[in-house]
Amino acid sequence: MFLCALALTPCLNADTAGPAGPSPETNDDPAFVWDLSLLYKDAATYDTAKTKLVGDLPKLKQYQGRLGESAATLREAMVLLTDLQAQYIRLGSYAALKSDENLRDASAMERNQEMDMLASELSNAASFVSPELLAVGEAKLRGFLDTEPGLAVYRFPILDTLRNAPHTLGAEAESVLSSVGMIADAPSSLYGVLANADLPWPKIKLSDGEEALLNQAGYTRWRAVNNRADRQAVFEAFWGKMKEYERTFGVALFSQVKTDWFNARVRRHPSSLAAALSGNNVPEAVYRTLLAETNANLPALHRYFKLRARMLGVADLRYWDIYPPIVKLDKKFTYAQAKELTIAAVQPLGADYVGMITQSLNGRYAHVYPRPGKRSGAYMSGSVHDAHPYVLLNHNDDYESVSTFAHEWGHGLHSVLANRTQPAPLAQYSIFTAEIASTCNEALLLDHMLKVAQDDDERLFYLGSALEGLRGTFFRQAMFAEFELRIHEEVEKGNALSGAALTKLYGDILRRYHGDAEGVLKIDDLVTIEWAYIPHFYRNFYVFQYATSIAAAQAFAERILANEPGAVDTYLGLLKAGGSDYPYELVKKAGVDLATPEPYRALVKRMNSIMDQIEAILDQRAK
């Protein structure tokens, strides 16, 4: 729908449950808490802005039935709609960020819910635009675009509306669908509150006597401990508790998949996948090629697991052996060091990029440490066109936190570049390109860390971390994408999905990817509830873009690090392009075609190369 995608979805990390973090006394230091007064001075200012938007919404009505009147009238309507969306995006971003500071804060949750309602009102008020543009007709619209300079920034979205003609309904039907948006996020909201705030997480005592609270953040922290018996205990307690809520999580996810299918059918798409990809005009070949290439290259993933077992000294690798580093690095990485290392790592991107990221890191744009009730994981929020992006972190003074930091600020600088280069209607970029910026930063960080590593142990640690990143961002996300496709296909066939059915389906895929039948890694029944832990399944074919993006990012990073002529300018040009074209086309123009096998095969080749380096060090030591 024309200009009605109110893009407030944060860019989530591939594994969203964040680490537990250092001592709580650091959490209230203003230096580690974002300054949202840069969006609104105070609650009263926010309320005034909300009242203004509510009062401005009826102004759209004066343009209904008049979009074909003249080019000037169309320009006025587009300017007004853009302004209304800008008002909403600022309000919605502020409400979401405040809510994520403490999900237990009822008033903040209510403010966020009010934004959901207001989004529906805005979408409903603008629902006449797309049907009416189609009624005006392509010839007349192109005439307006060619004669009115003020419409130049709207050319791409207007032509995109024409592309979507087969999936656009009449004004009345569009209005009804916009109203349905008020309830469409109920499954996701249910999941978020249950998983982050209400679920009674267990506590266990570890072998050293320390008590571990296994909420989502605690699980991420303690699943990587060195003591194998402790890891098993963590898994049994955490997934055992999740299993108790299998029915509830099942209802939530089944409801989400039904909602996706409803929206697809109403808009005359043949499948939920086709509907999800249609918005950004991504060829279905991208999704299908990703899954085909991932499955064809599972031997590389199994090789990694065998190498992990060798380095951990484990004969019977289990799922709780995936997360501990294959080489222990007794080294802490403070938040200040994360800044320094990231700035050093992105030097190949040039002085301008380094200057921009340095300026960003010196501002109060990040919420750094965990707090009770704070949303777990990490994300970047950069939808407000005339404001600086914000980053939510859960820093834990480890290397994973450094990698996450570089990842999220890759998103942040993407937004800075796009917002500075593109006008508001063309600045918002797709997740399809967003994850390229973040994972390219991770690749540059790895290259830097290998250069500054002081011995083979440190090099092994960083190489192992890179392998885990490729597993988690490529193979794991492709596995999620395959599961997501399967559950949507089941609903499209008219089949029901209980929590138990979802666990069975997910377990089958999980075992295949991890080589259970081949004796590579044993998957116990207790972890097959893992699907219930993944919030991305409520984002309608979101996860595949992590896998496609890391493949593209590896290609760009290799060219940049090899000092290929024009590589930096081409890459930064992709970031600056924002949403000025379809994301697949932008990446293809930059030299990477994600509908072909080559990027995925190159990534697997890179993964095998890293394993070759690790094995060479191990073999040399064994002599």
Neighbour count for residue 285 (Cβ, 10 Å): 15
Q: What are phi and psi of 498, to 5 degrees?
A: -80, 170
Q: Is 210 exposed, middle or buried (0-12, 13-18, 19+ CB in 10 A)?
A: exposed
| 271 CB-near residues (< 8 Å, 6+ apart) | 264, 488, 489, 492
Instruction: Give the residue numbers annotated as catalytic, written as ranges.
Output: 408
What pLDDT sits at residue 180?
76
Counting residues of the chain whose pLDDT is more than 90, the rounded percentage is 80
Residues 593-621: what's their mean pLDDT? 95
- Rounded to the nearest 10 degrees, the angle between the axes of helix 71-101 and helix 43-56 is 150
**CA–CA dist 243, 543 (Å, integer):** 23
pLDDT in tens, 404-461: 999 999 999 999 999 999 999 999 999 999 999 999 999 999 999 999 999 999 999 9
What pLDDT sits at residue 9?
43
Q: What are phi and psi of 380, to 5 degrees?
A: -120, 140
Domain range summary for the chain, segments of one domain joined by +: 37-190
pLDDT band of 185, cuts 50, 70, 90:
confident
Residues 186-209: what's their mean pLDDT? 88
pLDDT in tens, 64-110: 999 999 999 999 999 999 999 999 999 999 999 999 999 888 999 89
Residues 533-551: what's their mean pLDDT? 93
| DSSP track, 513-565 | HTTTTTTSSB--GGGGGGGGG-GGGGSSS-THHHHHHHHHHHHHHHHHHTT-T
Pick from 437, 436, 433: nearest CA to 584 = 433
Two tokens at 580?
């000025």
Two tokens at 554?
């590896």
Residues 5-16: what's their mean pLDDT? 42
Q: How far is CA 533 from the centre of its chain?
A: 15
**CA–CA dist 566, 423 (Å, integer):** 25
| pLDDT exceeds cutoff 90 at 140 | yes
In the numeric block, the tokens 């592309």 are attached to 163
Question: Which DSSP category does 268 fall into?
Answer: T
Q: What are phi and psi of 533, to 5 degrees?
A: -90, -10
| 240 CB-near residues (< 8 Å, 6+ apart) | 202, 526
SS3 127: coil
What pLDDT sits at residue 532?
95
Residues 372-394: what's their mean pLDDT? 94
Pick from 86, 66, 85, 80: nearest CA to 150 = 80
Per DSSP, what are the bridge partners of residue 367?
Answer: 392
Q: Given this structure, which CATH class describes domain 37-190? A: mainly alpha
SS3 321: helix
Largest CA distance in the chain: 82
**CA–CA dist 614, 459 (Å, integer):** 9
Mean pLDDT, rounded, of the chain: 92
Which residue stretches of 313-430 are H helix?
335-345, 351-361, 399-421, 424-427
Question: Which DSSP category does 472 fall into?
Answer: I
Q: Quote the Cα angle for 161-163-168, to 5°.
A: 60
pLDDT band of 27, cuts 50, 70, 90:
low
Q: Which one is predicted more confidently, 185 or 374?
A: 374
pLDDT band of 278, cuts 50, 70, 90:
very high
| pLDDT exceeds cutoff 50 at 25 | no
| 383 CB-near residues (< 8 Å, 6+ apart) | 7, 8, 89, 92, 93, 415, 428
Q: Is the pTM of this model over 0.85?
A: yes
Q: Lowest-pLDDT range, 164-168, 530-534, 612-616?
A: 164-168
pLDDT in tens, 332-351: 999 999 999 999 999 999 99
**CA–CA dist 27, 33 (Å, integer):** 8
Per DSSP, what are the bridge partners of residue 318?
Answer: 522
What pLDDT sits at residue 4?
42
**CA–CA dist 461, 5 (Å, integer):** 42
| pLDDT exceeds cutoff 50 at 563 | yes
What pLDDT sits at residue 14?
39
| pLDDT exceeds cutoff 70 at 564 | yes
E-strand ranges in 359-474 read 366-367, 379-381, 390-392
| 522 CB-near residues (< 8 Å, 6+ apart) | 316, 317, 318, 319, 516
Residues 279-284: what's their mean pLDDT? 95
